[in-house]
Structure 1
């Protein structure tokens, strides 16, 4: 009997593979053994990517995977892709169950001894890049995945908690060197929510046009439920992102564009200003024409330079500042 060849994952060409068969949207890249001993002090121990709704489109997310592989060739990459159902029809509990393989992997990379150490309380006392993870969040889909992962990590199993542990819930219980917010967060506008949802549709016609027609009433109903408080809203998401109990005081890099039809410049700017007021170092970079979650298309060299500078400064007391667009 002829055997049926196993279908390869679309990102397998970049050596990504699902870490558990229960969820094909959680993938891991494990770099080959280094040719020289040791890891660069400016390379993160781990990179975590949580993608936008269209992040299930392998060709688009491959741009970022390939960029990070080039920038930090010895660093593993944990990729968490987001689909429309994750923020519309699935409960938070369901999304968290889906994220359990990611949680288990993170807890294996960062043993309890590292996680139980006191988190940095000032910008001058940050984790060194080689000792921590870089969390890169894309759009609202990625925000939701990152927040649900945070909740899952914070609700650790009893075996992880000693009897003397206080009841205070720690901010992101994995050492973070920095947080990149890419094309987010925006507002609760229906028009922008609909535009964001269309990024999850296939580009082929007539499927794309049919999908847009079906999305219109779905997103309308979803926005109505958000307004009534039945489901979590973008306002809730913005508030939780800026709660120091979520990610602590780690430095932030906001990357966004004036040409984004999903997330407005003023929405990102106000969010950055709010967290600055809470003592977090922030750098904000604005592109001029790039579309949503497509900043490297406008200027890839600048994009990866900003990322590299942000990571390099993480262990030396990041002193970010608000930087307007340099067009």
Structure 2
């Protein structure tokens, strides 16, 4: 059993899932009743190799917007998003489902959930959460959520055109671990990803990134009542803006409301840092619009 790490201001639910908890007592935030038009639960899925300290800055931002909301933070390495099977990824997300949705039915439907997904790694574990909910409560149920914020995601899922950028992302996340030049680390991860790709094809296993995009376009898993907000940039060298817009158009074609907020100069998962007012303003506006659609 993995050791639960300690992180100031959070209660560890597992080695990858943390609950924002001001009083260091599990459930204290959840016991405060949020305003009727505020989210009750926010889940922030960090980017690949994002540290708790850095991902927590987004949790802080949400706490300022919605101070009574229960906020969970999910962290993962890029490696852990790329290699494990769907069953393994689902197992990792079951503790989150058990905290937010201990039961299905009317009580679960009362939750107002906001997903904040960062980069493709965040998307992979958000999709695993959808699957974990159905694993726990039945395939006929969908995890209730009311807004899905996509920060620097999703990109293209075509392996041949994306392997270079995926391997670069993994190299960036692990560069400090290796003494040799960055180009060698990049090349090694490229070889590793290509080997994993060949193994997945031989097994007939769907790649994690492909599955996550498919899950969030499936009405049986991701409810169409939840609009999508895409925060992305022309300057992002890991997730191209054209791919984000293509994925947004695919979502619209499946009946999902999609709002595009394109930045010109911010780097990958760097939009909040470069344009904080515009960033949080877009999220708050889309949440209000989502609640208006619900008649709240």
TM-score (norm 2): 0.83
Kindly tell me: are residues 252 and 239 of structure 1, through their superposed partners in 2, closer, same or farther at Cα, counting changes over 3 Å?
same
1:240 aligns with 2:234: no
Inter-partner Cα distance in structure 1 for 2:76 and 2:258: 26
Greater CA drift, 24-33 or 253-262: 24-33
TM-score (norm 1): 0.76
1:250-272 CA distance string (max 9 Å, x none): 11111111111111111111111
1:25-45 CA distance string (max 9 Å, x none): 1111134578xx853233210
Inter-partner Cα distance in structure 2 for 1:199 and 1:293: 14
Q: What's 1:165 paired with?
A: none
SS at structure 2 position matched to 1:27: strand
From 252, 268, 285, the equivalent of 1:309 is 285
Kindly tell me: are residues 26 and 269 of structure 1, through their superposed partners in 2, closer, same or farther at Cα, counting changes over 3 Å?
same
1:197 aligns with 2:170: yes
1:263 aligns with 2:236: no
SS at structure 1 position matched to 2:101: helix
Structure 1 position 205, deviation (Å): 6.9
Structure 1 position 155, deviation (Å): 2.0
Q: What's 2:126 paired with?
A: 146
Kindly tell me: are residues 140 and 229 of structure 1, through their superposed partners in 2, closer, same or farther at Cα, counting changes over 3 Å?
farther
Q: List aligned pairs for 1:40-79, cutoff 5 A.
A: 40-55=35-50, 57-79=51-73
1:270-301 CA distance string (max 9 Å, x none): 11112212222110111112111111122111
SS at structure 2 position matched to 1:201: helix
Inter-partner Cα distance in structure 1 for 2:177 and 2:204: 34
Q: List aligned pairs for 1:1-327, cutoff 5 A.
A: 9=6, 11-12=7-8, 15-19=9-13, 23-31=14-22, 38-55=33-50, 57-108=51-102, 112-115=105-108, 131-156=111-136, 169-172=140-143, 175-187=144-156, 188=158, 189-201=162-174, 203=176, 206=179, 209=182, 211-212=185-186, 214-225=188-199, 230-233=204-207, 234-249=209-224, 250-317=226-293
CA RMSD of aligned residues (A): 2.8
Greater CA drift, 145-154 or 24-33: 24-33
Q: Indicate conservation of the 8 Å contact 1:262/1:292, yes or no.
A: yes
Question: Tell me, which stretches of 5 or more residues in structure 1 are unaligned?
Answer: 1-6, 118-126, 162-167, 319-327
Kindly tell me: are residues 191 and 212 of structure 1, through their superposed partners in 2, closer, same or farther at Cα, counting changes over 3 Å?
closer
Kindly tell me: are residues 289 and 277 of structure 1, through their superposed partners in 2, closer, same or farther at Cα, counting changes over 3 Å?
same
Kindly tell me: are residues 223 and 297 of structure 1, through their superposed partners in 2, closer, same or farther at Cα, counting changes over 3 Å?
farther
Inter-partner Cα distance in structure 2 for 1:180 and 1:63: 16
The structure that has the greater radius of gyration is: 1
Kindly tell me: are residues 30 and 47 of structure 1, through their superposed partners in 2, closer, same or farther at Cα, counting changes over 3 Å?
same
Inter-partner Cα distance in structure 2 for 1:197 and 1:285: 26
Structure 1 position 213, deviation (Å): 5.0
Question: Tell me, which stretches of 5 or more residues in structure 2 are unaligned?
Answer: none
Inter-partner Cα distance in structure 1 for 2:202 and 2:272: 37
Kindly tell me: are residues 176 and 31 of structure 1, through their superposed partners in 2, closer, same or farther at Cα, counting changes over 3 Å?
farther
| Larger helix fraction of residues | 2
1:207-257 CA distance string (max 9 Å, x none): 784754542321232344466674423344322221222211111111111
Q: Indicate conservation of the 8 Å contact 1:241/1:247, yes or no.
A: yes
Inter-partner Cα distance in structure 2 for 1:276 and 1:60: 32
SS at structure 1 position matched to 2:124: helix
Structure 1 position 198, deviation (Å): 3.0
Structure 1 position 195, deviation (Å): 2.5
Q: Number of paired residues?
A: 279
Inter-partner Cα distance in structure 1 for 2:141 and 2:145: 13
Inter-partner Cα distance in structure 2 for 1:114 and 1:299: 37
Inter-partner Cα distance in structure 2 for 1:195 and 1:25: 23
